[in-house]
Amino acid sequence: EAGVTQSPRYAVLQEGQAVSFWCDPISGHDTLYWYQQPRDQGPQLLVYFRDEAVIDNSQLPSDRFSAVRPKGTNSTLKIQSAKQGDTATYLCASSLGVAEQFFGPGTRLTVL
Amino acid sequence: GQQVQQSPTSLVLQEGENAELQCNFSTSLNSMQWFYQRPGGSLISVFYNPSGTKQSGRLTSTTVIKERRSSLHISSSQITDSGTYLCAMEPSGSWQLIFGSGTQLTVMP
């Protein structure tokens, strides 16, 4: 069984540029999470979905970040105008309901 | 304050020694997970432990939900155990994970 996959693995941007991250969860998992992990810190939740519905996006910087999961499977996280403070690893995870979460390899973002 | 307190922050062992990592939670929780992460690597789930004791090889996790604490015991440490161990809790009434800051473990030959 394939795990959670993410792309790209790395991204380097200038401030002000836009970037999108893509996540493919484990097949059959209805819940999908996006976390941000700054260097040398634990991950922090940005947003999570059950099927195609956003359950909690209260920690997503709504002025520049957006996330969608239109068919309840794959998901895209987008940063409209990146800032240096966005430098971090972006992790996607999935689970079947309220259960163990499985994480993808992450996308390491550097904003110059 | 922080909802997940993890200790110690870092730990250096000689190969063969045992390690005990602790997590304390400030709010009620449904369950918790322990993860392992190498520098620049992904999060690997070590234990999903709603409550009680689980063992996998040299690793043992004990979670006492009522007391809001969990521990991870590593016996007979090996160099390949080096990395960061993170605990995370699932608060009551939520599906998200709230992570501790991690314990950086270094096992020396």
Q: What is the pLDDT of residue A67?
A: 97
Question: A56–B43: do the CB atoms touch at under 8 Å?
Answer: no
Chain B nearest-CA distance from A15, in A, is: 23
CB crowding B84-109: b at 16 or more within 10 Å, else e = bbbbbbbbeebbbbbbbbbbbbebee
Q: What is the pLDDT of residue A97?
A: 85
Q: What is the pLDDT of residue A1?
A: 62
Nearest CB neighbour to B42, from listed A31, A50, A104: A104
Q: What is the pLDDT of residue A86?
A: 96
The mean pLDDT values, 10 residues at a time, for chain B of 109 residues are 88 97 92 90 89 94 92 96 95 87 95
Question: B40–A45: do the CB atoms touch at under 8 Å?
Answer: no
Cis peptide bond prior to B8, omega within 30° of 0: yes
Q: Give A52-90 pLDDT, tens digit per residue.
A: 999 999 999 889 999 999 988 999 999 999 999 999 999
Question: B30–A98: do the CB atoms touch at under 8 Å?
Answer: yes
Question: B86–A44: do the CB atoms touch at under 8 Å?
Answer: no
Q: What is the pLDDT of residue A40?
A: 84
Give yes or no for B34 touching A (CB within 8 A).
no
Q: What is the mean pLDDT of chain B?
A: 92
CA-nearest residue to B100 within chain A is A42
Give yes or no for B98 touching A (CB within 8 A).
yes
**Secondary structure E strands in chain B:** 4-7, 10-14, 19-25, 29-37, 44-48, 52-56, 59-64, 69-74, 83-91, 98-99, 103-108
Chain A residues whose beta carbon lies within 8 Å of the beta carbon of residue B43: 43, 91, 93, 103
- Contacting B with CB below 8 Å, chain A residues are 31, 33, 35, 41-45, 48, 50, 55-56, 91, 93, 95, 98-106, 108
Choose among B99, B101, B108, B104: nearest CA to B32. Answer: B99
